[in-house]
Amino acid sequence: MTDSDAGPLPAIARIAILSADPDAPRWARDCAWIPGTGFCPERSCQEDCMFRAQRAVEAGRVVRLR
């Protein structure tokens, strides 16, 4: 079995799920999250953010590395 037979890569699967969200164009345009840092300077949409889970994981990783 080759890697391509095993299904989509996790990152590709996450991107596909995010892009399928009806609000994806809004988040692509308005999101202020800085990927890889867990930081987002925009506070007004924190509860609604479609990237909330990813931001939380990243923030935890940054804290552990410090």
Nearest CA to 62 out of 46, 31, 39, 40 is that of 39
Predicted model pTM: 0.59
- Specify the residue for token string 């596909």: 16
Q: Cα separation of 54 and 64, whole Å?
A: 15
pLDDT mean across residues, the chain: 81
Q: Give mean pLDDT, residues 41-64.
A: 86
* The predicted structure's pLDDT at residue 36: 80
Q: Are 8 and 35 in contact (CB under 8 A)?
A: no
